[in-house]
Chain A
Amino acid sequence: MEELGNLFHGFAVVLQPYNIMVMIVGILLGVIIGVLPGLGGANGVAILLPLTFSMSPTSAIIMLSCIYWGALFGGAITSVLFNIPGEPWSVATTFDGHPMAQKGQAGEALTAAFTSSFVGALFAVIMITLVAPLVAAFALRFGPAEKFGVYFLAFCSFVGMSKEPPFKTVAAMMIGFALASVGLDEMTGQLRLTFGFEKLLTGFDFLIAVIGLFGIGEILLTMEEGLSFKGRSAKINLKVVFQTWAQLPKFWITSLRSCIIGCWMGITPAGATPASFMSYGIAKRASKNGDKFGTGEIEGVVAPETAAHAAGTSALLPMLALGVPGSPTAAVLLGGLLIWGLQPGPMLFVEQKEFVWGLIASMYLGNVVGLLIVLTCVPLLAAILRVPFSIIAPIILVFCAIGAYSVHNSTFDVMLMMVFGVFGYLLKKCNYPLAPMVLAIVLGNAAEESFRQSLLASQGSLTIFWSNWLVGSIMGLGLIALFWPLISQALSRMRPRPVTT
């Protein structure tokens, strides 16, 4: 197997002392980001992106992806101990995690959460190792029409699968596309939508949007809720860890199901948050202790954490193999690739073997290191959360500003970040989804280019998107995803009502 050889080569890259150090620093920063309210995976990675400018691309992606793993782990700590989800995908973890902490089982809950996260991530990484090269090899055959089809599918799944109203998703997404098209049009060399403002020549950078929408917007939301941290303390020692580990194999079915849900939701850009909710819901229905869910069942921690981590990890598969990120954080990583001079997409597997397999190997090792770090550092991390928000908030603001500035060394971007922040707060309050907007800003130019190239080939006829079975079936899947709410309604009406619910 060629992949196995590549993977071992990847491990050799990751095991260089410098890369191991980068990995540990990344995980630590990531866990802190995950614990702090107002800083999440996407904006955390965006803010820290400038730190990697002077590194080699492989070390840089190891650091950034490890920040992401760390953030995934960190979200669980605040959910269990403080009943405050540090990340949207750990909301479902609070349902049973916090009751466990109230019963004095915080250590068990955290061990279960971390271990499940690890299992979910491991499952997803194995899947990436096996599937990503195949997808990439397949995608090498894609022409512009197929490429557009993949973008179409990704964006349609957002509309069909997000919990926000579909027209709000469309509006948010299209605003993202419009922002992406500002500036120089690469195909005709013309300036558009700049209205004579020099600052707009280079267009809107999505990193600024991410830092503003997710970072500043989140701080404003946190401020509104007026958080007061009343946490439980946790004692994790080896005895608790091993006792919990002895209990976990019982839940292997829940775990496996959550892994699969997570991987599926991660690859289609539904993301970690719906995956965790869905997994929790199904586990509640399937478990024989289902009616006790919400009172501190360990299974209720296992299900959402496994799915969230599996989804978060597998979101990198389409980013690596197709150049279409499955989550905002994956989008930021993709933006990083562009900055380091790499072209995301299937050619990456051919041209940048060391980079791709270094990243995949770092996913294995990063999650092992992450598990060890979070298990040993819980008291320390809980102490960070006890630092009052009036100290944390301005420091986060400062780091957001630094992150926004260093993307293009422009102070105009810092002001733009603030505008995006207030806009993000309003959007969030009015139930508009932010993720499709960010992905549209990232992918806007690539989607437009493939669209126009396809139309050029067909002399302006839209039939090119149905011209062969490959592009036709991708577009067809896209339409199914787009109208999925209507289709599933129709299906459930046709089917006779099930007797048991």
Chain B
Amino acid sequence: MSDGPEGTLSGPGHRTVELALAAFMALFALVVIGGSMQVGFQWAFDGPQAGFFPFYIGLFILGASIVNFWHTWTEVPRDQVFASWGQLTQVMSVVIPSAIYVVLVSWIGIYVSSMLLIGVFMKWLGRYGWPLVLLIAVGVPVMTFVVFERWFLVPLPKGPVEYWLGF
């Protein structure tokens, strides 16, 4: 990974992202502390309550994120780039289809959504011809079906298409 300052590339500042991450962790810590206080974090007559351990864990996270926030604030230079916009576009081109994919899995099952994911990926990012796209996009899920459902007897999520086919 190249974290060095790259003057020519523009993108979100590394400092901003890291500060936001530390702040998010502090927020998470507050949620944990709040949740532990809800169930009781003290010493009951029969020993520590359910929130006892997480309460102190929350305090640790809070303390560490404050230190991390401070270190980032004082030490990370302002001109350091987190990743260039071009790189982030690349990353988002995976994140967005995959995010849609994981939601689709619960609706239409894993096989059909996998075909769509592989197909979209190969066509959109790889720009392959249709024969190859279809071969892999259909072939991989079908192979997965044989290996998981038939050989290893592991059921995977199915949707309307599979029911219609009678599985």
A451 within 8 A of B: yes
| B122 engages A391 (CB within 8 Å) | yes
Interface segment among A175-183, A241-249, A359-367, A463-471: the answer is A175-183
**Quick check: B102 and A170 within 8 Å, CB to CB?**
no
CB of A450, distance to nearest CB on chain B (Å):
11
Task: Tell me whether B35 and A456 are in contact (CB under 8 A).
Answer: no
A190 and B39 within 8 A (CB): yes
Minimal beta-carbon separation of A352 from chain B (angstroms):
23
User: Which residues of A in the span 172-202 have a Cβ within 8 Å of any Cβ on B?
Assistant: 174-175, 177-178, 181, 185, 187-188, 190-193, 195
Chain B proximity mask over A41-53: 1 for CB below 8 Å, otherwise 0: 0000000001101
Distance (whole angstroms) from the CB of B145 to the closest CB of chain A:
11
Interchain CA distance A219-B54 in the complex, whole Å? 32
With the chains together, A398 CA to B49 CA distance in Å?
Answer: 42
A414–B98 contact, CB under 8 A?
no
Is A383 an interface position by the 8 A CB rule?
no
B57 touches A401 (CB 8 A): no
Given A395-B140, A451-B53, do A193 and B101 touch, yes or no (CB 8 Å)?
Answer: no
Q: Is the CB of B53 within 8 A of A390?
A: no
Give every chain A residue within 8 A of B43 (Cβ-Cβ).
460
Chain A nearest CB from B138 CB (Å) reads: 13
B106 touches A411 (CB 8 A): yes
Roughly how many angstroms separate A402 CA and B36 CA in the complex, as a whole number?
34
On whether the beta carbons of A402 and B110 are closer than 8 Å, the reply is yes
Given contacts A402-B148, A406-B154, A452-B47, whether A414 and B105 have CB atoms under 8 Å apart is yes
Question: Do residues B94 and A220 form an inter-chain contact, with CB atoms below 8 A?
Answer: yes
Report the minimum CB–CB distance from A344 to chain B (whole Å).
21
Instruction: Tell me the bound Cα distance from A53 to B39 in angstroms.
Output: 36
Give the size range of B's interface with the partner: 35 or more
- Tell me the nearest residue of chain B to A426, going by C-beta: B21
B58: chain A residues within 8 A (beta carbon): 178
B157 within 8 A of A: yes
Known: A171-B65, A174-B61, A430-B21. A405 touches B156 (CB 8 A): yes
Asked if A192 and B105 sit within 8 Å, CB to CB, the answer is no
How long is the Cα–Cα vector from A405 to B83 in the complex, in angstroms? 31
Main secondary structure of the interface of A (DSSP, over half): helix
Contact B102 A401 (CB under 8 A): yes
Once the chains are docked, how many angstroms separate the CA of A188 from the CA of B54? 14
Let me know if A291 is at the binding interface, CB within 8 A. Answer: no
8 Å CB interface, A422-439 against B: 422, 425-431
- B80 CB to closest chain A CB, in angstroms? 12
Beyond A167-B71, A224-B83, A425-B91, is A395–B118 a contact (Cβ under 8 Å)?
A: yes
Q: Are A174 and B64 in contact (CB under 8 A)?
A: yes
Say yes or no: B101 contacts A397, CB within 8 Å. yes
- 1/0 per residue, CB under 8 A from B, across A209-225: the answer is 00000001001110111
Contacts of A448 in B (CB 8 A): 53
Q: Is the CB of A188 within 8 A of B49?
A: yes
- Chain A residues touching B, range: 35 or more
Look across to chain B and name the residue whose beta carbon is closest to the beta carbon of A219. B94
Do residues B140 and A398 form an inter-chain contact, with CB atoms below 8 A?
Answer: yes
List the A side residues contacting B105 at CB < 8 Å. Answer: 401, 405, 411, 414
- B156 and A406: CB pair below 8 A? yes
Determine the distance from Cα of A399 to Cα of B94 in the docked complex, in whole angstroms: 15
- Is the beta-carbon distance between B64 and A171 smaller than 8 angstroms? yes
For the complex, is A71 an interface residue (Cβ under 8 Å from B)?
A: no
Which residues of the partner chain A approach B39 to less than 8 Å between Cβ atoms? Answer: 185, 190-193
Q: Which residues of A contact B129 (CB under 8 A)?
A: none
CB atoms of A405 and B110 under 8 A apart: yes
Q: Which A residues touch B21, using CB under 8 A?
A: 426-427, 430
User: Given the complex, which residues of A lie within 8 Å of B51, measured CB to CB?
Assistant: 192
B152 and A51 contacting across the interface, CB-CB below 8 Å: yes
- B105-127: CB near A (< 8 Å → 1, else 0) gives 11000100010011011100110
- Name the B residues within 8 Å of A178 (CB-CB): 28-29, 32, 54, 57-58, 61
Q: In whole Å, how far is A397's beta carbon from the nearest beta carbon of chain B?
A: 6
Interchain CA distance A427-B28 in the complex, whole Å: 15
Give the distance in Å from the alpha carbon of A156 to the alpha carbon of B109 in the complex: 43
Chain A residues with Cβ below 8 Å from B141 are: 398
Q: Chain B residues near A337 (CB, 8 Å)?
A: none
User: CB distance A415 to B48 under 8 Å?
Assistant: no
Contact with A along B14-52 (1 / 0, CB 8 A): 100110011001001101100110110001000111111
Q: A192-B35, A427-B21 are in contact. List 9 more A-B contacts (CB 8 A).
A: A167-B68, A190-B50, A192-B54, A223-B90, A224-B90, A391-B121, A398-B110, A401-B101, A425-B91
Q: Which 4 A/B pairs are nearest by Cβ-Cβ distance?
A: A390-B126, A411-B106, A171-B64, A394-B121
Using a CB–CB distance below 8 Å, which chain B residues touch chain A? 1, 3, 14, 17-18, 21-22, 25, 28-29, 31-32, 35-36, 38-39, 43, 47-54, 57-58, 60-61, 64-65, 67-68, 71, 82-83, 87-88, 90-91, 93-95, 97-99, 101-103, 105-106, 110, 114, 117-118, 120-122, 125-126, 128, 136, 140-141, 144, 148, 152-157
Question: 8 A-B Cβ contacts within 8 A?
Answer: A178-B28, A181-B53, A190-B39, A223-B91, A394-B117, A395-B118, A405-B110, A429-B82
